[in-house]
Structure 1
Amino acid sequence: MTPSPASVVAWIDAVTRAQGERPALVHDGITWTYRDLWTRVEAVARHLLSTGLRPADAVGLMGANEPAFVVNYLAIMRAGGTAVPINGMLDGAAAGRQLASVDATRVFLGRVDAGVRDALAESFRILPMDPDEPPPGRGRLPVVGANSPAAIMLTSGSTGHPKGVVHTQGTMLHAVLQLTSVFPFRPDDRSVVFLPLYACIPEQVLPVLCTGGSLEILPRFEVDRVADACTRATTFDAVPTILSRLIEHAPLHKLATLRWVLFASEPMPVALLDRWWEELPGVEMHQLYGMTEVLPLSAAPHRLLRQDPASIGRAFPTTRLGVDPEHQGGPGGGRELIGASPALMKGYYKDEIATKAAIDAGGGIRTGDLGHIDERGMVYLTGRSKDIIISGGINIAPAEIEAVAARHPAVERAIVVGVPSERWGETPVVVAVARPSSALTAGDLLAHCRSLLTTYKRPTGAGLIDSLPTTGIGKTAKDAVKKMIVNGEIDLVRI
């Protein structure tokens, strides 16, 4: 039975019926057409139903990037279930806690450590991510509509109580329509996937498939392999940390034939944007701002970004984005941003208290980001509430110091964290990666930042590191940097 047109799976089904022989997925030299993809999706969906899958049942997915991950994710939704992608870097105990928190009983497992597999096998039914033989596909597929479940995205890592962000077919489809209406997705796009699939399906995989493009799936981010894939591609999704590594270490001629790049997830230094525009003037840069709970909130397409690179653009036409009028304000005059959209989650799984705390009476969600919106509707971030450094009772936004550090010509990437101080409670410290072959010293970095910042914002220490630790999707892991400083793993120059 054909799914309802108000669902993500219906859109991909329609693309398949219109252009079934066009390429959909490419991996290790093998190409799957849309017909190949959708035949597999429906076969797996029928197999899940034949094994007793009930409407809205949660099914986990854990493993490295491969086409079968996309197939099984879509198949769970096509069968009326709920896809639960799990961070492939978690150990077995942490992965098990996350799956149990959303009442999953099955999990598709791909390439994971044997210990993870053994731990999960004690409590969950293990389904092979890519079986040697296609599963038998019998049974009638359900009607899947806007209110049908789609996915639960878990927000916590290996520690703490995980929160399951519940999205429906309707909220995810609206996110896709927002993205494809503002950013230049086209049927002739070939998008390189190197961010982990557990995180990038909503903003990369689904918009590409819903517009008839193709995806070249790489197992992970590796500079040389990504650069080679870019010679065959038109676009990719990334985070600023990865864009910094590419512009520094990839052969630029291999990136120069790209048509456009979409980035999100962490602040983009203006100096890094300028570098991309200078080195690769033919590649358009587009910025997305959003969060797991409400996938897209604002967009800065290329032309808007060129006019105002410090902004994260404007809210989508169907999105309400404002600032909390009751917030006292933070560094740089920012107040907490609150957003509402048809792409907003339905809530946290079985957690009414957390849901009510996050969503206000008007249906808006607290983002945790501080910023302001000018009279043109342009949105500017000034920091993240949980990252704010309180030094001597004064709030300091790390992003302001990071922007200054990034202006040093020898700095490839820099972050700022707060470290304990007996006198002030905590003070800011800047840690940077130097550009290759530069003679930058930690003392140079500290002097540069202190010379350009007002007294209370000046960092009290600086250090250099070969590479910044990152999360699973390539964002800088500030907690890991703070731990390295506390453990003495980063040599700091102090004032």
Structure 2
Amino acid sequence: MSSLESALTIPQLLAAAATHYGESMAIEEENSRLSYHRLDQLRRQAARALLALEVKVGDRVAIWAPNIHEWIVAAIALQSVGAVLVPLNTRMKGAEAGFILRESGARALFLIGEFLGTRYPTLLADELLPELQHRISLRSEVEGCLGWETFLTLGDGVSPAELDVREAEVDEHSLSDLLFTSGTTGKPKGVMTAHGQNLRIVRDWSAMVGLRRGDRYLIVNPFFHSFGYKAGWLAALMRGCCILPQQVFDVPVMLERITRERITVLPGPPTLYQSILSHPNRQDYDLGSLRVAVTGAASVPVEMVRRMRSELGFETIVTAYGLTEACGFVTICRPGDSPELVANTSGRAFPDVEVRCVDGDGQPVPPGVAGEIQVRGYNLMRGYFNNPEATAEAIDAEGWLHTGDVGVLDEQGYLRITDRLKDMFITGGFNVYPAEIEQVILRYPGVAQAAVIGIPDERLGEVAMAFLLPATGQHVDTQAFLAWCREQMANYKVPRRALLLEAMPLNAAGKVTKDALRKLTEAAS
């Protein structure tokens, strides 16, 4: 077994990759090219700098930035000293990021100074963050933050031997990351996973999709998302690929990069491939280098899969299903599966991972019958951070994770997703939980009750629609309300439509019946 295969922690993996792949390119950006050897040097320098800042084993360290090489350096550096990675969604507003920083007790934060017109340090100006001791700006000098180069020089005061001692304290059971995911209660929960389980499942994923040494991997999925992180840069480093970070989903830019950079691996949501196929100037670009595509959704058009092979030239196209609570991976199609199987299912379980569908009494249902999807295996989270009650609710005494998703298994174990969590919907690849949006809406002046559902959207799949019950004697201007929402929450959560009601449709238990709201929407459209 090679050192790459036997690595038990993410820093061990990069050290082995540096030895194995040496001067091969690990990351290429517009203004920088890092070999595997240089990436590992930077990782160690940044890790020593974190020791200089007295970051301890188990401390949480957050990263709030788009896809750039410093993100990867910072992530593996903090994991090298036994700290736990807390990624922050770049679309978050200050209050949303502040909540996660407080909830995780993050001691340090790596952040970008500005991205797409948003100044991230400014967003935190009014947030009370008593445990956050250090802020490091990954690019550009920012007042109140340690600059990246200045931060790296702190490592000069810490010996390599001191880092070696700290790294020895980190093992396969040590927490590697804390990814926050919203729940049906509306409060984001921190999902804890460890080094060893992540490396094991990523090794299997990488082998199944056929990543090769020298592959040129355009990573469009955000690094803060489990896919962009684990199936993205972590998988790429494991297999000796060259990472090409993409900060923004921009189809013309991507087409140009595929042609110029000779991209071979391009995972993404179905909208990515649909956008490429429908681009009016697609024939102007040479896409002949493309080989591997990985996507996932409740439904993928069969015709799109066929066209991806015949028109875009992909050799391997697979769909998959996963969730943060399972390290991001549960099922996957295998290379060679038919277009119908790829389009209509999310594949079958990873090795040593069990998947079943159960009825309302928790009893397994036969193939072909819909039921709640449950998962059991080494890939399940270590629990929700500081929330044993929610952990016990999610994982039962027999070790089954209750996903809340509904699906059907066939005789061969291929899974077809038929529904999502009761209320959850997906906007442009992001999970959206109505309860979380409703909590924010209730802060709007004059709103007595609020309910949110997902409605179809041609470009994003589904988007939020808000139903508002004004307080007695109050008037609510829906356009002003929608503008307020855009200031209060990440744009994928923002309602695109709002409808005022004279009364909320309630069931016998006094709860809003969202099926009635959907019928209202259909009647109004």
Matched, 1:115 2:122: yes
**Residues 320, 433 of structure 1: CA spacing in aligned structure 2 closer, same or farther, 3 A cutoff?**
closer
| Residue of structure 1 equivalent to 2:106 | 104
1:379 Cα offset (Å): 1.2
| Residue of structure 2 equivalent to 1:128 | 137
1:485 Cα offset (Å): 5.8
| Residue of structure 1 equivalent to 2:330 | 297
User: Which shows bigger deviation, 310-319 or 245-254?
Assistant: 245-254
Matched, 1:311 2:345: yes
Matched, 1:285 2:310: no
Secondary structure of 2:218's counterpart equals: strand
Q: Tell me which of 374, 379, 382 is aligned to 2:418.
A: 382
1:368-410 per-residue CA deviation (whole Å, 9 max, x = no partner) reads 211111211111111113249xxxxxxxxx99xxxxxxxxxxx
Q: With structure 2 as the length reference, what TM-score do the two structures score?
A: 0.72
Matched, 1:342 2:368: no
Q: With structure 1 as the length reference, what TM-score do the two structures score?
A: 0.76
Secondary structure of 1:48's counterpart equals: helix
Alignment of 1:397-416 (within 5 A): none
Alpha-carbon distance in 2 for matches of 1:426, 1:61: 30
Question: Contact 1:145–1:169 (CA<8 Å) still a contact in 2?
Answer: yes
Matched, 1:163 2:181: no
Secondary structure of 1:135's counterpart equals: helix
**Residues 286, 352 of structure 1: CA spacing in aligned structure 2 closer, same or farther, 3 A cutoff?**
same
**Residues 372, 485 of structure 1: CA spacing in aligned structure 2 closer, same or farther, 3 A cutoff?**
same
1:209 Cα offset (Å): 0.3
Alignment of 1:414-433 (within 5 A): 430-432=456-458
Aligned residues: 417
1:231-259 per-residue CA deviation (whole Å, 9 max, x = no partner) reads 22111221112222222226254333201
**Residues 272, 484 of structure 1: CA spacing in aligned structure 2 closer, same or farther, 3 A cutoff?**
farther
1:181 Cα offset (Å): 2.6
Structure 2 unaligned blocks of 5 or more: 140-147, 435-450, 461-485, 502-520
Alpha-carbon distance in 2 for matches of 1:79, 1:97: 25
**Residues 204, 433 of structure 1: CA spacing in aligned structure 2 closer, same or farther, 3 A cutoff?**
closer
Question: Contact 1:170–1:343 (CA<8 Å) still a contact in 2?
Answer: no
| Residue of structure 2 equivalent to 1:195 | 221
**Residues 476, 381 of structure 1: CA spacing in aligned structure 2 closer, same or farther, 3 A cutoff?**
farther
**Residues 276, 493 of structure 1: CA spacing in aligned structure 2 closer, same or farther, 3 A cutoff?**
farther
Matched, 1:484 2:497: yes
Matched, 1:221 2:249: yes
Q: Tell me which of 62, 65, 73 is aligned to 1:63.
A: 65
Matched, 1:236 2:266: yes
Question: Contact 1:191–1:208 (CA<8 Å) still a contact in 2?
Answer: yes
Question: Contact 1:327–1:335 (CA<8 Å) still a contact in 2?
Answer: no
Alpha-carbon distance in 2 for matches of 1:205, 1:105: 24
**Residues 256, 367 of structure 1: CA spacing in aligned structure 2 closer, same or farther, 3 A cutoff?**
farther
Alpha-carbon distance in 1 for matches of 2:325, 2:113: 28
Alpha-carbon distance in 2 for matches of 1:429, 1:94: 24
1:284-336 per-residue CA deviation (whole Å, 9 max, x = no partner) reads 3122211101021111134114252311111111111111242599xx94211
Secondary structure of 1:53's counterpart equals: coil
Secondary structure of 1:32's counterpart equals: strand
1:431 Cα offset (Å): 4.3
Supply the RMSD in Å over aligned alpha carbons. Answer: 3.4
Q: Tell me which of 323, 347, 351 is aligned to 2:357.
A: 323
Q: Tell me which of 282, 286, 299 is aligned to 1:254.
A: 286
User: Which shows bigger deviation, 100-109 or 263-272?
Assistant: 263-272
1:412-434 per-residue CA deviation (whole Å, 9 max, x = no partner) reads x9xxx99xxxxxx9999654359
Alpha-carbon distance in 2 for matches of 1:333, 1:43: 54
Question: Contact 1:146–1:169 (CA<8 Å) still a contact in 2?
Answer: yes
Secondary structure of 1:192's counterpart equals: strand
Amino acid at match of 2:269: V
Secondary structure of 2:102's counterpart equals: helix
Matched, 1:150 2:173: no
Alpha-carbon distance in 2 for matches of 1:492, 1:339: 35
Alpha-carbon distance in 1 for matches of 2:67, 2:128: 21
| Residue of structure 2 equivalent to 1:371 | 407
**Residues 269, 485 of structure 1: CA spacing in aligned structure 2 closer, same or farther, 3 A cutoff?**
farther
1:163 Cα offset (Å): 0.2
Question: Contact 1:64–1:111 (CA<8 Å) still a contact in 2?
Answer: no
| Residue of structure 1 equivalent to 2:14 | 12
Alpha-carbon distance in 2 for matches of 1:303, 1:316: 16
Alpha-carbon distance in 1 for matches of 2:385, 2:408: 31
Alignment of 1:14-29 (within 5 A): 14-29=16-31
Secondary structure of 2:267's counterpart equals: strand
Percent identity, please: 24
Secondary structure of 1:41's counterpart equals: helix
Alpha-carbon distance in 1 for matches of 2:154, 2:271: 43
1:120 Cα offset (Å): 5.5
Alpha-carbon distance in 1 for matches of 2:125, 2:113: 13
Alignment of 1:457-472 (within 5 A): none
Secondary structure of 2:278's counterpart equals: helix
Secondary structure of 2:207's counterpart equals: helix
Q: Tell me which of 69, 76, 79 is aligned to 1:77.
A: 79
